[in-house]
Amino acid sequence: MNVKYKCSQCGETHDPQTFIHKCPCGGLLDITPFDVDFPLEKIKQRTPSLWRYEEALPFSKSQQVTLGEGFTSMVSTDDSNNVFFKMDYMMPTLSFKDRGASMLITAAKALHVKRIVADSSGNAGTAIAAYASKAGIKCDIFVPASTSPNKLTQIKAHGAQLHLIPGTREDTAEAAVKEVEESGSFYASHVYNPFFYQGTKTYAYEIWEEMNGNVPDVIVVPVGNGTLLLGAYYGFKDLYDKGLIPSIPKFVAIQAEGCAPLLKAFQAGSEHIEPIETVGTQAEGIAIADPARHYQILQVIKETGGEIIAAPENTIESARKALAHQGFFVEPTSAATYAGYLAYIAQEGSNVENQTMVIPLCGAGIKAVK
């Protein structure tokens, strides 16, 4: 392993073998910079998975824990040839979280971890359970008791020990952290562990490759804890720093109207959020009242000249039906992303008519069928 943890607050570095999930100062962990490269001719000859970008990843091919994730299709929408859906639900566990899970469990295996603990609203837990099973690592997944039944079935099918926690998503995270601290297990958190973002950054690499070396004007992305937004930003920044793209796209973050702490901070011009009480949303995947990496998320929005848009709750189901009529059967969180996109273009009007945009469809509809 050629990288270490680095505190985003004090700058102190730490060996991943310590299993810490935060710096002793309380700061969140990133990873130390390392050289990346994009030998495109070699990349094009490789298996169509996220591991085709091995020169830009922190692990070698021999270390990887993979189920063939990544390199999902981009399909133009019915209403525009400039707007594309990236079908990130076409993954082994039917959500984009497989990108990060593959990298995170690869890290756990490299560290000779025997047992992991993770918390999730559903999709990340499913992905981590699947990849842990592939790697032969014992796995405990903590989820809110209200999690969609089909997601619970998926998690259990992969052999994970499932813990249903009453209350909020934040209550679930607290229960998982308590278990980690009491047991000394590896905290395979898709929020706190920086290796997860080394997987989600491949979302940007794929867009760049699929657009023949170009990037869109706008990246639309759902945001709860920000695992896709931050990963995509890191990916585009890698490409920009190597001189392969002229600029980083504008990020338009979508939050659910019923749980939008980042939007509230953005509108107030604040770099920090005030945790809110969730009033209820269909988009369980982004119902995060107190996102740990809120400062970094808001920095990306600011740096790229982006925006944060609320998906109206009363449009999420109609957005889901509209996607289904185009052939895409998605869960409500992905529908909220589309609803937010529609609200954004209605707000911007003719200003976005000729802009190229990419919208992720992050989770399959079968996960949320009642």
Q: Is 286 helix (H, G, I), strand (E, B) or coil?
A: helix
Structure token digits, residue 9 = 């607050």
The H-assigned helical ranges of the chain are 40-44, 97-110, 123-135, 149-157, 169-183, 195-200, 202-210, 227-241, 261-268, 294-303, 313-325, 332-348
Chain position carrying tokens 């609803």: 339
Q: What is the pLDDT of residue 370?
A: 61
Task: Select from 314, 258, 255 the least CA-distant residue to 281.
Answer: 258
Chain position carrying tokens 């185009």: 326
Q: What's the sign of the alpha-carbon dihedral 142, 148, 154, 156? A: positive
Structure token digits, residue 94 = 């039917």
What pTM does this model have?
Answer: 0.96
Residues 163-172 as b or e (16 or more Cβ within 10 Å = b): bebeebbbeb
Residue 364: phi and psi, rounded to 5, are -75, 145
Instruction: Encode pLDDT of 348-359 as tens digits.
Output: 998 998 999 999
Taking residue 145's Cβ as centre, other Cβ atoms within 10 Å add up to 12
Q: What is the pLDDT of residue 174?
A: 95
Angle at 169 between CA 163 and CA 171, to 5 degrees: 70
Strands 115-119 and 186-187: parallel
d(CA 43, CA 51): 9
Instruction: Encode pLDDT of 41-77 as tens digits.
Output: 999 999 999 999 999 999 988 899 999 999 999 999 8
d(CA 256, CA 284): 9
Q: What is the pLDDT of residue 81?
A: 83
Taking residue 339's Cβ as centre, other Cβ atoms within 10 Å add up to 30
Structure token digits, residue 174 = 């607290």
Structure token digits, residue 136 = 């032969």
d(CA 274, CA 263): 11
The string of DSSP codes covering 26-45 is: SPPEEE--------HHHHHT
Q: What is the pLDDT of residue 275?
A: 73
Contacts of 157 (CB under 8 A, 6+ apart): none
Instruction: Encode pLDDT of 95-148 as tens digits.
Output: 999 999 999 999 999 999 999 999 998 999 999 999 999 999 999 999 999 999
Low-confidence stretches of the chain (pLDDT < 70) are 278-279, 370
Structure token digits, residue 66 = 């993979």
